[in-house]
Amino acid sequence: METQRQKKIGGVLQKDLADILQRAATDGGLKGTLISISKVSVTTDLSIAKVYVSIFPTKNAVELLEGIKSNQPLIKHELAQRIKNQLRKTPKLLFYLDDSLEYIENIEKSLKGDENPMEDRDLLEKRKKI
């Protein structure tokens, strides 16, 4: 369970990282691409921050995530400049793709469309018996 301090630091990192990444996308010529940070969870010793990135449109999300990962040192440096008054040491940033919005969208599509798993049980994957 996260402590109040971890949540507070996660919130600060989330706000600043969202700003950094969105500005980088706009400056990099990716107009129309929305990059948001859905969650940041920080370890108890504040040394590692897991950053969950949501990218829309999702067609080049994996490619953009790889670009973000390769620019991690630059992103960390920019973040360090912004949070130097709040934290002594900037945590190591681990980026993950958050595909929960896409997952929700697929559920909504399947419920609205012809392929409703509530009516046609064969659409659901069979559970394996252990």
- Please list the pLDDT of the chain residue by residue as tens digits (130 residues): 889 999 999 999 999 999 999 888 888 877 788 888 999 999 999 999 999 998 888 788 888 899 999 999 999 999 999 999 888 899 999 999 987 777 777 778 777 766 655 566 665 666 555 5
Q: Is residue 102 part of a domain?
A: yes
Displacement of CA 59 from its chain's centroid (Å): 15
Phi and psi (nearest 5°) for 27? Answer: -65, -30
Under 8 Å between Cβ of 55 and 97: yes
Give the Cα separation of 116 and 130 in Å (integer). Answer: 27
Q: What SS3 class is residue 116?
A: coil
Does a structural domain hold residue 70?
yes
Q: Within a domain: residue 130?
A: no
The CATH code of the domain that includes 22 is 3.30.300.20
Confirm whether 65 is domain-assigned.
Answer: yes
Note whether residue 106 is domain-resident: yes
Q: Which residue range is the domain that position 39 belongs to?
A: 4-123
**104 in a structural domain:** yes
Handedness of CA 62, 33, 55, 94 (dihedral sign): positive
The answer to whether residue 128 is domain-embedded is no
12 located within any domain:
yes
Q: pTM value?
A: 0.77
Q: Which residues pair with 105 in a beta bridge?
A: none
Q: What is the number of domains present in the chain? A: 1
pLDDT of residue 77: 95
